[in-house]
Each structure stands twice: as structure tokens, then as C-alpha cells.
Structure 1
Amino acid sequence: MGALRVAATACVAAGLALAWTPARAQSVPQSMPVGALACGGCHPAVSGGLVPPLAGMPADGVTEAMLAFRSGARPATVMDRIAKGFSEDEIRALAAWFAREKPP
């Protein structure tokens, strides 16, 4: 397994672990769709890395990317597997929520 794939897998695992901690759950906005908290495990709050921040991204672009990951039309290390875990309605809800978020 390549180093990037190992790093990405670890990033997803860390994000999922953070998503379920009790202290973290108390600070989650009620408007946040299911699954959005785990995205922060890899997607940073600010630009500068290999993985783009999601806050403020256009909803159509996020939806299109997630659907392409889910179908296999867009190559990925882990996003293809992550996207398969969401229905189209859930993807659209995540995309809309991130589009409304203001980047720091």
C-alpha cells in the first residue's frame, strides 16, 4: 500500500474517532448533517495542503465531486469508499451545509 493511501486511511480513521468523542459531540451544531464532522479529519479548515478545505465551497461542486467519487468516475485513494457510504440526499445535504459555512 502506498504511503499516500496509508496516510489518507489514517486520516479518515482519526476523523471518525474524533467524530464520536463525547466532548466533541457536545460542540457539534444541530444543523450539521450526519457525517460532516468526520470530513474534518482530512479536510483542513484553511488552504495549503493536498486536501482542500470544504467550508465555503460551492454546493454543486461538492455534490458533483462526491457523486463522481461514489460512481468511480473520479479516481481517489479513500474518497471513493467514503462517498459510497452516503446516499445522494445525504451528499446534497453535506454539500449545502459546507457551502453555507464561512471559511476561517
Structure 2
Amino acid sequence: MRRGLSAAVLAAAFVVGLPTLAAADTAADTAILAGTCAGCHGAELGGSGAIPTLRGHSADYIRFTLKSFKNGERQATVMNRLAAGYSDEEIEALAVYLSQLQ
């Protein structure tokens, strides 16, 4: 019986910890996803030449732009293909994350 109680306590602790772990994973995943932008937009995501900066834009602007690339309303060489693979949740997370960069 003692063994069963320990397992139950461990399971409860795990379930209680899930929201925190999930939030941490989401933040880490978003940072990794945003890191893939560096290939074109530069290490600091400041853009160069014809490639625009991702810094200093509002979340609304970033969200609108990514959705425009995704649905084909806005055309670009690579962004349409990239944005087409983003879920709505990833677009939202990227919009918030990128809008916080100075």
C-alpha cells in the first residue's frame, strides 16, 4: 500500500507541474522557431538590404504579416512557404515574441 501511495503522490506532483513545464516548452519552442528566422533576417533579426528587420514591430503587425504570407495575400520568395507551415498558435507565439525585441 505504501508503494501505491508514493506513486499517487508522484503522479499528482507531475500533473500539477505540467502547466509550468508546458509554458516553458512553449517559450523555448518559440525562441527556437524565431531563431530559424536568423538565416535570412540576421543573427539579431535586424534585417539587411531587401530583407526587413523583425525588431520593433507590434504583435498585431507581425501577426497580420505572417497570416498574409500564409494565405497568399502577400508574396515573397521564401516567406509564403515558411508561413504556410506555421500553425495559428505558432504565428501568435512568434508575433508576441518578436514584438518584444528591441
TM bucket, shorter chain: 0.5 to 0.7
Question: Mind listing any 5+ residue stretches in structure 1 that lack a counterpart?
Answer: 1-29
Runs of 4+ in 1 over 6 A off after TM superposition: none
Deviation at 1:52, TM superposition (A): 1.1
Distance 1:88 1:51, change over 3 A: same
Q: Counterpart of 2:34?
A: 36
Question: Mind listing any 5+ residue stretches in structure 2 that lack a counterpart?
Answer: 1-25
Distance 1:47 1:101, change over 3 A: same
Identity of aligned residues (%): 37
Q: Counterpart of 1:60?
A: 60
Q: Counterpart of 1:7?
A: none
Structure with a larger share of its residues in helix: 2
Q: Counterpart of 1:88?
A: 88
Distance 1:70 1:40, change over 3 A: same
TM-score (normalised: structure 1): 0.62
- Write the letter of the residue equivalent to 1:87: S
Q: Counterpart of 1:23?
A: none
TM-score (normalised: structure 2): 0.63
**C-alpha RMSD over aligned residues:** 1.8
Q: How many residues align?
A: 73
